[in-house]
Amino acid sequence: MTQIKPPQDGRAYDEAMHEERRQTRQLLSPGAAVGVTESMITALVHAFYAKIRREPELGPIFETAIGDHWDEHLAKLCDFWSSILLTTGRYKGAPIPVHLALPKIEGAHFARWLELFSETAEELWSSEAAALVVARANMIAKSLQYAISASRGELINGLTSRS
């Protein structure tokens, strides 16, 4: 990274600082380190949710929750994964309350979701990039399962994950 000294022109300084922040985010971004791009995230999200919609058990759950708002949902999930993998900060939602409001979802639902997600990532991405996104998906699934179980007052014996 370069030394940035405030020039006479404030706009040039602002542009240089913006570039410095962009470079810092890229260095800290786990996805950028393995070649993940925005277009890869978009392709993954769209291919994965196309599978979800066709899946006999998960499809109806998602259709009930999302209804006619698939375009908005897919855009939100692209923002979510961009924030997770590329540290863009675009996602501004709160996934736990959304998932708490769903009808009784179980560990088997998470297991199937993770299975389809892993399958899609491995089909579309390099092994290194797929391993990263699948690891993040497993952590997120465990967090959501924990929150759901805790909200129901259930004991947590073993959270579903997919290695």
Q: Which residues of 109-118 are buried (b: 16+ CB within 10 A; e: fewer)?
A: bbebbbebbb
Q: What is the pLDDT along the chain (163 residues), one digit of tens a residue?
A: 555 555 556 677 677 776 676 565 555 688 988 999 999 999 999 999 999 999 999 999 999 999 999 999 999 999 999 999 999 999 999 998 888 888 778 889 999 999 999 999 999 999 999 999 999 999 999 999 999 888 888 766 655 566 5
Burial class of residue 120, CB neighbours in 10 A (0-12, 13-18, 19+): buried
Supply 44's token pair: 């993954």
CB atoms within 10 A of CB 34: 17
Q: Considering the entire predicted model, what is its pTM?
A: 0.78
